[in-house]
Structure 1
Amino acid sequence: MMITSKNKAHTSAKKCLTKLGLLALLTVGVLLSSHSHAKYASFVMDADTGRVLHSVNADTRNYPASLTKMMTLFMLFEALEQKKVTLNTKLRVSRKATWQPPSRLGLKAGSHIRVEDAIYALVTKSANDVATVVGEALGGTEWEFAKLMTKRARQIGMKSTNFRNASGLPNRRQLSTARDMATLGNELWKRYPQYYKYFKTTKWSYKGRTYGNHNKLMKKYDGMDGIKTGYIRASGFNLVTSVKRGGHRLIGVVFGGKTANRRNTHMAKILDKGFTKLDPKMMAAYKQKKKAKQQKRAYEIASKRRSTAWGVQVGAFNTIKKARVQAKAAIKRAPSYLTGAKTKVVPLKNGSKKVYRARVVGVEKREAYRACRALKKMRHPCMVFRAKGTQVASR
Structure 2
Amino acid sequence: MMRTLVTLLILAATLFATAASAAFETRARAAWVYDATTDTVLLSKDAETPLPPASMSKLMTLNMLFEALRDGRVTLETQFSVSDKARSMGGSSMFLEATDRPTVEDLIKGIIVQSGNDACVVVAEGLAGTEEGFARLMNERAQAIGLRNSTFANASGWPHPNHRMSVEDLGLLAVRLIREFPEYYGYFAMETFAYDGRVPSNHNNRNPLLKLGIGADGLKTGHTAEAGYGLVGSAVQGQRRLVFVISGLPDDAVRAEEAESVVNWAFRQFVEKTVAEKGARLATVPVWMGAERSVGMIVAEDVDLLVPAVVRGDIDGEIAYRTPLNAPVEEGQQIGTLTVSLPDLQPREIPLVAERAVPRGGFVPRVTTAAYVLFQQVTGKAAGL
TM range (shorter): 0.5 to 0.7
1:267 matched to 2:259? The reply is yes
Helix, strand or coil: the match of 2:152? coil
Alignment counterpart, residue 84 of structure 1, candidates 60, 73, 77: 73
CA distance in 1, matches of 2:81, 2:175: 30
Counterpart position of 2:118: 129
Partner AA of 2:166 in structure 1: T
Alignment counterpart, residue 65 of structure 1, candidates 50, 54, 58: 54
Residue ranges of structure 2 left out of the alignment (5+ in a row)? 1-26, 274-305, 310-385
Q: Spell out, residue by residue over 1:4-58, the C-alpha distance to the aligned partner (whole angstroms, 9 max, x if none).
A: xxxxxxxxxxxxxxxxxxxxxxxxxxxxxxxxxx981011011133310011111
Residue ranges of structure 1 left out of the alignment (5+ in a row)? 1-37, 286-395
CA distance in 2, matches of 1:241, 1:39: 14
Q: Spell out, residue by residue over 1:323-367, the C-alpha distance to the aligned partner (whole angstroms, 9 max, x if none).
A: xxxxxxxxxxxxxxxxxxxxxxxxxxxxxxxxxxxxxxxxxxxxx
1:254 matched to 2:246? The reply is yes
Which residues of 2 match residues 193-272 of structure 1 at below 5 A?
A: 193-209=182-198, 210=200, 211-272=203-264
CA distance in 1, matches of 2:251, 2:181: 31
Q: Is the CA contact 1:39–1:62 (under 8 Å) kept in the aligned structure 2?
A: no
Partner AA of 1:41 in structure 2: A
Given the two structures, how large is their TM-score scaled by the length of structure 1?
Answer: 0.60
Q: Is the CA contact 1:47–1:250 (under 8 Å) kept in the aligned structure 2?
A: yes
Helix, strand or coil: the match of 2:151? coil
Counterpart position of 1:375: none
CA distance in 2, matches of 1:206, 1:235: 28
Counterpart position of 1:160: 149
Given the two structures, how large is their TM-score scaled by the length of structure 2?
Answer: 0.61
Q: Spell out, residue by residue over 1:251-286, the C-alpha distance to the aligned partner (whole angstroms, 9 max, x if none).
A: 01001011111112112222222223431899999x
Decide whether aligned partners of structure 1 residues 266 and 39 sit closer, same or farther in structure 2, where only a CA change above 3 A counts: closer
Q: Is the CA contact 1:53–1:277 (under 8 Å) kept in the aligned structure 2?
A: no
Which residues of 2 match residues 1-395 of structure 1 at below 5 A?
A: 40-209=29-198, 210=200, 211-279=203-271
- After the TM superposition, which segments of 4 or more aligned residues of structure 1 sit over 4 Å from their partners? 280-285
Q: Which has the higher strand share?
A: 2
Partner AA of 2:194 in structure 1: S
Q: Which has the higher helix share?
A: 1
Decide whether aligned partners of structure 1 residues 265 and 137 sit closer, same or farther in structure 2, where only a CA change above 3 A counts: same
Q: Spell out, residue by residue over 1:304-338, the C-alpha distance to the aligned partner (whole angstroms, 9 max, x if none).
A: xxxxxxxxxxxxxxxxxxxxxxxxxxxxxxxxxxx
- The one of the two structures with greater contact order (alpha-carbon pairs below 8 A, sep at least 6) is 2
Decide whether aligned partners of structure 1 residues 284 and 51 sit closer, same or farther in structure 2, where only a CA change above 3 A counts: closer
Q: Is the CA contact 2:110–2:194 (under 8 Å) kept in the aligned structure 1?
A: no
Partner AA of 2:120 in structure 1: A
Q: Is the CA contact 2:56–2:157 (under 8 Å) kept in the aligned structure 1?
A: yes
Q: Is the CA contact 1:39–1:235 (under 8 Å) kept in the aligned structure 2?
A: no
Counterpart position of 2:350: none
CA distance in 2, matches of 1:39, 1:197: 27
Q: Is the CA contact 2:177–2:185 (under 8 Å) kept in the aligned structure 1?
A: yes
Deviation at 1:152, TM superposition (A): 1.1
Q: Is the CA contact 1:203–1:212 (under 8 Å) kept in the aligned structure 2?
A: yes
Helix, strand or coil: the match of 2:236? strand
Helix, strand or coil: the match of 1:251? strand
CA distance in 2, matches of 1:278, 1:43: 16
CA distance in 2, matches of 1:266, 1:163: 27
Partner AA of 1:261 in structure 2: A
Decide whether aligned partners of structure 1 residues 203 and 216 sit closer, same or farther in structure 2, where only a CA change above 3 A counts: same
Helix, strand or coil: the match of 1:261? helix
Q: Is the CA contact 2:234–2:244 (under 8 Å) kept in the aligned structure 1?
A: yes
Helix, strand or coil: the match of 1:62? coil
CA distance in 1, matches of 2:28, 2:217: 26
Q: Spell out, residue by residue over 1:197-243, the C-alpha distance to the aligned partner (whole angstroms, 9 max, x if none).
A: 00010011322234110112221151100000001110000100011
Partner AA of 1:40 in structure 2: R
CA distance in 2, matches of 1:50, 1:152: 23
Helix, strand or coil: the match of 2:168? helix
Identify which range, 169-178 or 199-208, moves more after superposition.
199-208
Helix, strand or coil: the match of 2:134? helix
Identify which range, 238-247 or 41-50, moves more after superposition.
41-50
Larger Rg: 1
Partner AA of 2:76 in structure 1: L
